[in-house]
Amino acid sequence: MVDYHAANQPYQYGPSSAGNGAGGGGSMGDYMAQEDDWDRDLLLDPAWEKQQRKTFTAWCNSHLRKAGTQIENIDEDFRDGLKLMLLLEVISGERLPKPERGKMRVHKINNVNKALDFIASKGVKLVSIGAEEIVDGNAKMTLGMIWTIILRFAIQDISVEETSAKEGLLLWCQRKTAPYKNVNVQNFHISWKDGLAFNALIHRHRPELIEYDKLRKDDPVTNLNNAFEVAEKYLDIPKMLDAEDIVGTLRPDEKAIMTYVSCFYHAFSGAQKAETAANRICKVLAVNQENEHLMEDYERLASDLLEWIRRTIPWLEDRVPQKTIQEMQQKLEDFRDYRRVHKPPKVQEKCQLEINFNTLQTKLRLSNRPAFMPSEGRMVSDINNCWQHLEQAEKGYEEWLLNEIRRLERLDHLAEKFRQKASIHEAWTDGKEAMLKHRDYETATLSDIKALIRKHEAFESDLAAHQDRVEQIAAIAQELNELDYYDSHNVNTRCQKICDQWDALGSLTHSRREALEKTEKQLETIDQLHLEYAKRAAPFNNWMESAMEDLQDMFIVHTIEEIEGLISAHDQFKSTLPDADREREAILAIHKEAQRIAESNHIKLSGSNPYTTVTPQIINSKWEKVQQLVPKRDHALLEEQSKQQSNEHLRRQFASQANIVGPWIQTKMEEIGRISIEMNGTLEDQLSHLKQYERSIVDYKPNLDLLEQQHQLIQEALIFDNKHTNYTMEHIRVGWEQLLTTIARTINEVENQILTRDAKGISQEQMQEFRASFNHFDKKQTGSMDSDDFRALLISTGYSLGDAEFNRIMSVVDPNHSGLVTFQAFIDFMSRETTDTDTADQVIASFKVLAGDKNFITAEELRRELPPDQAEYCIARMAPYQGPDAAPGALDYKSFSTALYGESDL
């Protein structure tokens, strides 16, 4: 700071004190072109010169008093350059070069030149003003120099709606005085003569200081003196002019009035700051309110979807089997309704929820807000996990339903087979115990005993032949138990009765044989023909019974190959019938031979073969039954063959459509992947193209509906496999849902890119350059890249990366540490690096302005400065201020501002 004291003292250069003038450089050309250059007319109107001397002197002293000094004569006190340098230091807040010691003219010129050089360094053109004129006390040049200083440091930085300097100051005056009667500010001379404009400026900002309604337009001196005295007493604006100087001049000096008015502008700049601060806060609060609304919508949609999933999963996990096929088929139909009617809207809701979440996060990033963290259990990942659980339960449920239907179908078949074989066996065993317990051998003749022995041997042969049937019955009952047949209790009871009876027959057979063998030695003769008949008739009879059983046996097949196998086996059986017929005729011939011998030898027979109960009539009757069952079996097999051919047609029909739809879905998925990577044209063009692409996909839906109809026909026909295609309906459904979700997500990514571009002011060329750079380093063309490729991308854009800086950037673009960087994350990062956003500190500063530089703010101040809804928004959310300087009703705006940006209160 220049030492301004007595000339006899040596010059000293002390520390600079901070000034309140505007700093920074800038061209004065735009404004100075509108001013009269001082080298054009070196003569001033005497009245104007007087006004300028008085105004400029007062203006200089308003700053010099901060350094403890002042000037008396403006053209004398600046001649040595010392107070001129001091003035510049105070108003700029910068240190000037050290002044030269000495009182000679050359020292004064050098000091003034230092001051003029400093002024020139601030972008001011000093036209025709030289150090010699100032040192020589040239009043006009001195006043011209001070005017350039006032322009540069008091007026140049005034800006209202992109105007500057004189126009900006004039526009400010017009706006502030517009509501006042008898005031019409059009210039900086005549408009101020009556003093009302000065009083209006003060009343607009400090209404308690001026009784404006009592002022009269026809009393300018009183008006001017009132304004000047109030400004000096309450606003710290020194009196720069006398009322008589202004009133007594036809046209007051414009520069003097501008200088005086600029002091009013700076005195009331705090109010302007408050207005700017209020606008900033309103903007921030509006963004926050909109984001909170989106968050509430997300929470509600997420809760509804999760509740539906939680209700649905227990239903899908309910695997309690039903007793009948009809009940299980009803459950399958309910499941089809769920897949066709209930689930598709939920798929759309889930996709829309993810899109809304991504859009909300993008808006939060663009407004420099913290990322949205849904309440516990409602994260997108939580919803995806629940959805995966749902789909796992769903897949297992359908598989279980089909297996249960197949199981019940097999159970019904086995149960009917069990009943049929059990009935045949029970019919055969009827009366066998009584026969085995009969003691007829005690009174029989020798020939009768021998006949009884042979008869018993035939029965044992018959008994052995029935052993297989008993084992089959027991095996079927065991299988029914293993398959959890609902009527297993009755099956087991019947099976146990058959087995117990079989054991009893075995025991009785053994006892009767012992009794017969005991008397066998006493037997001498035996009728060989009857015996041979009995031995051949019994197996043949069993063969016919087995044939009738096989011909009446139920069958179940699932493929054309299986039915053709049964038809082939049946044809093979029919090929054995001629041999069986010959065996039948041979057996009947034996019986006829026995009768012929008896008749020829006049032997009186008892009328029946003593060794067997199988009479020729029985053999012929059963043979006739076999002959009747063969064509019935032919008809049943042909009907089943026709059914399987129909099923094969359904398989081929479904496979033909599935083999078209499946690859189409896969192709569209690949095309979407390429489109999302190789996007051309503007983002709006890309968005339009993607939406047209989405409509083409939706238009393909009838093909899936047709496939669903064909799939339902297949399930209703109980067809469980299809060798003609690798695509199941489940694969097609999942692929279709993924296709719809992928195109919707891709559209949302482009919409978010448009949102980012517009919010951040990114040009289309920049966006295309970002996309081209990203695609170049996305070597796998997946739409994302690993950290090494991303580092190379950053280096290509001009970043000089150390490990610490790169790790910082990765934490921004990959907050979940997945190891991958998406294109959306890349453009978000680039937009943040190249654009400015509001910060918590800026909002705190704005609130501080509204609070009058206090550390707290009151509800009254908020309601006065902000719109009603936003004022109440702040009041409802601000905590009471707890500082030592707290006043009643004080609110903590600092904690509130940091909370808006997710930062902790410092």
Q: What is the pLDDT of residues 209-235, one digit of tens each?
A: 999 999 999 999 999 999 999 999 998
pLDDT, mean over the chain = 82
- Residue-wise pLDDT for 366-397, tens only, equals 888 888 889 888 888 889 999 999 888 888 77
If one compares 347 and 761, the residue with the highest pLDDT of the two is: 347
Distant-in-sequence, close-in-space partners of 411: CB < 8 Å, separation ≥ 6: 480, 483, 485
Mean pLDDT across 463-481: 85
Confidence of residue 527 (pLDDT cuts 50, 70, 90): low
3-class DSSP state for residue 183?
Answer: coil
Highest mean pLDDT of the ranges 525-534, 610-619, 734-743: 734-743
pLDDT confidence bin for 524, thresholds 50/70/90: very low
* pLDDT the model gives residue 20: 36
| CB burial readout 417-429, b (16+ within 10 A) else e | bbebbbebbeeeb
Return the sign of the alpha-carbon dihedral for residues 747, 748, 752, 753: negative
User: Does residue 90 surpass a pLDDT of 50?
Assistant: yes
Q: Is the pLDDT of residue 194 over 90?
A: yes
Query: How many whole angstroms from its chain centre is CA 321?
Result: 38
Pairwise CA distance, residues 777 & 750, whole Å: 20
How far lies 133's CA from each of 128, 152, 400, 751, in Å? 10, 21, 107, 67
880 φ, ψ (degrees, to nearest 5): -60, 140
895-906 confidence digits (pLDDT tens)? 988 888 765 543
DSSP assignment of 595-656 equals HHHHHHTT----SS-TT-S--HHHHHHHHHHHHHHHHHHHHHHHHHHHHHHHHHHHHHHHHH
Q: How confident is the model at residue 21 (pLDDT cuts 50, 70, 90)?
A: very low
State mean pLDDT over 47-67.
88
Burial (CB count <10 Å: 0-12, 13-18, 19+), residue 144: buried
Residue range 299-306: mean pLDDT, rounded? 90
d(CA 387, CA 306): 9
CA–CA gap between residue 94 and residue 879 (Å, rounded) = 42
Comparing 838 with 654, the larger pLDDT belongs to 654
In whole angstroms, what is the distance from residue 591 CA to residue 585 CA?
10
User: What is the DSSP secondary structure assignment for residue 13, as one 8-state letter?
Assistant: B
Contacts 24+ apart (CB under 8 A), 744-749: 744/351, 744/352, 744/355, 744/694, 745/351, 745/354, 745/355, 745/358, 746/672, 746/675, 746/676, 746/690, 747/687, 747/690, 747/691, 747/694, 748/355, 748/358, 748/359, 749/358, 749/676, 749/823, 749/824
Instruction: Using the Cα atoms of residue 220, residue 225, residue 230 and residue 235 in order, give the sign of their dihedral.
Output: positive
Give the pLDDT band of residue 333 (cuts 50, 70, 90). Answer: confident
Residue ranges of the alpha helices (H) in 235-268? Answer: 243-247, 254-267
Distance, in Å, from the CA atom of 275 to the CA atom of 270, rounded to the nearest integer, reads 9
Q: Per-residue pLDDT for 772 more than 90?
A: no
- pLDDT score recorded for residue 446: 57
pLDDT of residue 706: 92
Half-sphere exposure of 687 (CA within 13 A, CB side): 11
* Band of residue 67 on the pLDDT scale cut at 50, 70, 90: confident
Q: 217 vs 177, 197, 199, 221, 289, CA distance in Å?
A: 15, 10, 11, 10, 49
Give the pLDDT of residue 22.
35
**Calpha distance 208→203 (Å, rounded):** 7
Calculate mean pLDDT across residues 699-709.
91
Contact (Cβ atoms closer than 8 angstroms) between residue 551 and residue 630: yes
Quick one: which H or E segment has residue 784? strand 784-786
Query: Which domains does the chain carry?
Result: 46-278 (1.10.418.10), 287-408 (1.20.58.60), 431-614 (1.20.58.60), 645-754 (1.20.58.60), 760-829 (1.10.238.10), 841-900 (1.10.238.10)
For residue 197, the SS3 value is: helix
The pLDDT value given to residue 34: 35
Checking if the pLDDT of 331 tops 60, the result is yes
Retrieve residue 566's tokens.
């049964």
Identify which of 194, 215, 201, 153 has the alpha carbon closest to the alpha carbon of residue 173: 201
Mean pLDDT: which of 279-283, 404-408, 707-711 is highest? 707-711
Lowest mean pLDDT among 250-259, 282-291, 437-446, 715-724: 437-446
- pLDDT grade for 525, boundaries at 50, 70 and 90: very low
C-alpha 309/C-alpha 331 separation (Å) is 19
Q: What is the pTM of this model?
A: 0.51
Q: What is the DSSP letter of 556?
A: -
Whether 257 shows a pLDDT value over 80: the answer reads yes
Is the Cβ–Cβ distance between 202 and 227 less than 8 Å?
Answer: yes
441 confidence band (pLDDT: 50, 70, 90):
low
State residue 522's pLDDT score: 39
Q: Strand pairing of 784-786 and 820-822?
A: antiparallel
Distance CA 161, CA 632 (A): 103
More confident residue, 804 or 141: 141
Instruction: State how far the Cα of 444 lies from the Cα of 227, in Å rounded to an integer.
Output: 159
Write down the pLDDT at residue 11.
28
Q: Facing residues of 820 across strands? A: 786
pLDDT at 521: 54
Run of H or E residues at 828: helix 823-834
Q: Are 523 and 517 in contact (CB under 8 A)?
A: no
pLDDT category at 113 given cuts 50, 70, 90 is: very high
Is residue 401 scored above 60 in pLDDT? yes
Share of the chain above pLDDT 70, in %: 88
Cα distance between residue 479 and residue 485, in whole Å = 9
Distance between CA atoms of residues 199 and 643, nearest Å: 106
Is residue 58 within 8 A of residue 240, CB to CB? The reply is yes
CB-based contacts of 283-292 (< 8 A; 24+ apart in sequence)? 283/838, 284/367, 284/838, 284/843, 284/900, 285/866, 285/870, 285/873, 285/874, 286/870, 287/363, 287/367, 287/369, 288/369, 288/900, 289/870, 289/873, 290/363, 291/360, 291/363, 291/364, 291/367, 291/369, 291/372
In SS3 terms, 794-855 reads as: HHHCCCCCCHHHHHHHHHHHCCCCCCEEEHHHHHHHHHHHHCCCCCHHHHHHHHHHHCCCCC
pLDDT band at 4 (very low <50, low <70, confident <90, very high): very low
Give the containing element (helix H, strand E) for 821.
strand 820-822
Task: State the Cα–Cα distance between residues 879 and 895, nearest whole angstrom.
Answer: 8
pLDDT value at 586 more than 50: yes
C-alpha of 763 from chain center: 27
